[in-house]
A and B are shown apart, each in its own frame.
Chain A
Amino acid sequence: MIVYIILIPLVTAIIIPLFGFINKKLPFYVTLLSAFTNFILVIRTAKKIFSYGTERYFFGGFEAPFGIEYVVDGLNSIILIIISFMFFIITVYSKRSLEKEIENRRLPLFYALYTLFYTGILGIVITGDIFNLYVFIEIASLSSYTLIAMGQKRNALMASYNYLILGTIGATFILIGIGYLFMATGSLNMADIKLRIVPLYHSKMVRTAFAFLTLGLMLKLALFPLHVWLPNAYSYAPSAMGALLAATGTKVSAYALIRILYSVFTIEFDMKIIPFNQIFLLISLVAILAGSTLALAQTNLKKMLAYSSIGQIGYITLGISLSNATSLQGSVLHIFNHSLMKGGLFLIAGGIFYKLNIENIYDMKGISKRMPYSMAFFVILTLSMIGMPFTVGFLSKWYLILGAIEVGRYFVIPIIVISSLLSLIYLWRLVEISFNSDVDKKEISEMPVSMMVPVIIISLLTVFLGVFSDIPISLSREAVKIILGS
């Protein structure tokens, strides 16, 4: 019953405020419980999917395209797995850091919104109906606006407002695109549209719809020229929320983009009818370089991580734009990996802020004396970010490079290498500074266990999946099968 994947968090989100009336601490445990239940449910569903194939659910018993349909297939089950996992992990982490950053009487409502955000992104991933997609995008966006505005500094408010403006423009573009598409095909169900769109390849309506849908999603995805909202939003939000956004927000948009490109429109439409891939490839490469370069210019740790996310999003779109099986596998893998790695890095940044109240990199001299374990895991995740073999980061980059070679775009390789170097530089900066011991020896002050454990789990997973890599690779292969419809 895949409908429960949404219902559990939704109902949790609704009843959390009621628990809040009873006790201010209770909502956290309720959230944790539902997150865990949901994770288990997702895992079981995914198991079923991978053995028995795609599963569909018709709401109200009205068969598609007349009713709203939920589809879980190889592609979105992998996304579901990573999202629910990261949500669970970050919820474990969130207790202490939120108790520090948010005053306690506001925690119940905060957790309610937090779970609503989760509901929204799950809905985006799981739905098979294009208007339903819009509704859930709005749920996720609205809650994230507020959650970002809950940040401590007053920059948070402005960041949230800018995100709101741009996000609303993006969502409205998506709505317009849906309108044109609906007008051209008369249907709202993705699979149905895909069937009906074939004779309409040359219709101007369809092309406009395509333009607006992709544009709106790129805004949500913060692809390079449209990234302006992302860095502030990520760095001024409460630490846990920033981590959650970095781990899931853009990934979900990337997934939605893949869905739109390959399951609503068809691959030959993207490739042959319109010169989409060339443009998209160009944008992605620019994004990769620009993101890494801008990250180099930052002194605030969280901001640096946020800018590096912009570069990493470039990788994901790069794989999409090369659009052969290998590169798409690289893309899906990178969605998975980057969610893991960047989530972990943000958690560590949040931990440093929690213990020492510093965000600026150059104030972190000799921090490896004070938080040795955190820095050790930071190094591990850094290696994964630059694509060191034995870490998951390697897999995605490797597949992207192979994909680029497959279609003979050799110039992609140096760009990937250069950006890896840049990311090495801007991440290693911190490691180096933290090794510097020209400061008076301080006692160890690590972050509390409930914040440490998630970091440990993520880092170990980064290495484990990098070594025993057949798990992510087989999952992503299933996903690519779905994308290319074979």
Chain B
Amino acid sequence: MYEIDKFLPLMIPLTALLAVPLIYFFRNQRDIRDGVSVLAPGTMFALAFLVFKNFYQNKEPLFIHILDITPTVSLQFRVDGASILFSLIASFLWIITTIYSRGYLGGLREKKQTSFYAYFALTLFATQSLAYSGNLITTFIFYELITLFTYPLVTHKGSDEAIKAGRKYFAYLIGTSLIFFLTAIVLTLSLKGEMSYKETGIFDGSESVEMLLLIFLFFLFGVAKAAIMPVHAWLPAAMVAPTPVSALLHAVAVVKAGVFVLYRVFNFVFTPDIIAGFNGHFIALTFSAITIVVASMIALRQDNLKRRLAYSTISQLSYIIFGFSLLNSHALTGSLYHLIMHAFGKITLFFCAGSIYVTTHISEISKLDGIGKKLPITMFCFAIGSLSMIGMPLFGGFVSKYYLLKGIAYSDYQLLFAIFGISTLLNAAYFLPIVYAAFFKPPKEEIHLEAKESQRSMEFALSITALGTIVLFFVHGFFYPLIGV
């Protein structure tokens, strides 16, 4: 039994890896290929669920040592609540996204669909491995692999514009991670001689404050995937990618991977007490707060729908970092909840944007007037997604925001309520007008639909996720054992 426990988590990424040759092999039978890329995440989801069950029985985290690269550098897995949570979400949403992208790619008659699915699977492999990685270097490896595997997806079009955007993407992510992230890891290793995550933290506070602060900042800005303000520019650039990519990868997998790494750093490399010891959380709070507000303001001024969503993603991510750096259990719970809620909400919004683009070739917000008549389901789900983003009760977004506010209340920075107020208003300001215009304004010019047949699967997918946001509000207790802090 215990061996099975050790074996199951490994199976999850391996399934994704196995999917790749299958997808390539069936590149000519489109249906089988898509079937594979639905089957693989399904299997992964089931496996993740089994892992969750085992974890539920014996609460203590599970360590799996795979191999040594050098005597000090080893590949190591760690299975605990957060990792299972992340892997569950990622694999579940992959299923939905595959269904969606079948419609999307079909609607646009994309070339190179096979390589699209293949790189998708590779990215998910890296993401899952990162979710379970048990020490800094393992995290680093899969962090880099995610960047590498998403690069072809970002430059999928192959046009000069896409190539340029890809360069920006690559430069930001690889550059920061090589300069700051790796340096931080090396410094950690040279100071403490080990890198594996521990509840008690790798650092024990005996180190010099300056050193700790330096390493902390390196981590904070080295993990550019979390898109905190100075290092966020890659995310809007990445929006040239096809919408399913933006949806799953740049609303869930990639960015959440960054946030997840920061979660590890905050709680397993450092510990809240140590961070408080050198006031690292204060810096993190400042930056994340600034990001929340400023990103929302920029989002307000974007006319391209996907870019607006991208900036809203940036600000929402900073909620999570914000929650980490409040350093109390309620805020942490809120953050982890936000990891789920934002994932569902934002993927819904991206799906909507994508289906609008496929069916009407509109990507600007100003042209969306009266589109609600044409695409009722899509726009209705869009409304749900936005409300969840804003944090209305009865929607998943409310849960996380509630815990975050509770966290603020328990911390000694009460005036940060103001930030929340402002940002919530801003969220409303840049989402609701779209919904309003879509349903109640008369269309400027005649909108004609096409690609009817592909609409089915897309609407199916996005309604599922929209439903998810509502369901999550009621069943959020289900995740409590995973988040349990």
Contact = CB atoms under 8 A, between A and B. Distances in A.
B179 interface: yes
Given A389-B73, A398-B73, A417-B182, A470 B160 contact: no
Given A388-B144, A395-B70, A435 B155 contact: yes
B446 to A, nearest CB: 34
Contacts of A394: 69
Contacts of B166: 432, 435
A424 interface: yes
A273 to B, nearest CB: 30
Contacts of A383: 148
Interface residues of A, number: 31
Contacts of B393: none
A38 B313 CA distance: 61
B141 A390 contact: yes
Nearest to B140: A389
Given A399-B70, A473-B70, A413 B183 contact: yes
Interface string B167-204: 10010001100110011001000100000000000000
B69 A466 contact: yes
Contacts of A473: 70-71
A161 interface: no
B206 interface: no
A438 interface: yes
A253 to B, nearest CB: 27
B29 interface: no
Contacts of B175: 421
B167 A432 contact: yes
B155 A467 contact: no
Given A388-B144, A436-B158, A468 B178 contact: no
A417 B179 contact: yes
A470 B70 CA distance: 7
A467 B69 contact: yes
Nearest to B190: A405
A252 B43 CA distance: 52
B170 A421 contact: no
A421 B177 CA distance: 11
Interface in A384-434: 386, 388-390, 394-395, 398-399, 401-402, 405, 413-414, 417, 420-421, 424, 428, 432
Contact of A469 (B70, B152, B179, B183): B70
A469 B69 contact: yes
A401 B158 contact: no
Interface string A354-398: 000000000000100000000000000001001011100011001
Contact of B178 (A395, A417, A469): A417
Interface centre among B152, B166, B167, B186 (most CB of A within 10 A): B186
A152 interface: no
A417 B73 contact: no
Contact of B163 (A386, A399, A436): A436
A417 B177 CA distance: 11
B231 to A, nearest CB: 15
Contact of A438 (B71, B137, B158): B158
Interface in A428-486: 428, 432, 435-438, 466-470, 473
B163 A435 contact: yes
B28 interface: no
Nearest to A383: B148
Contact of B69 (A389, A402, A405, A432): A389
B159 A413 contact: no
Contacts of B69: 389-390, 394-395, 466-467, 469
Contact of B141 (A389, A399, A405): A389
Given A436-B158, A438-B158, 4 more contacts: A398-B70, A417-B183, A421-B178, A424-B178
Instruction: Please provide the 8 A-B residue pairs with the shortest distance between their CB atoms, ordered closest to farther.
Output: A437-B158, A389-B141, A405-B190, A469-B69, A436-B163, A435-B155, A417-B179, A421-B178
20 contacts: A388-B141, A389-B141, A390-B69, A395-B70, A398-B73, A399-B70, A401-B186, A402-B72, A421-B175, A421-B178, A424-B174, A424-B178, A432-B163, A435-B152, A435-B155, A438-B158, A467-B67, A468-B67, A469-B70, A473-B71
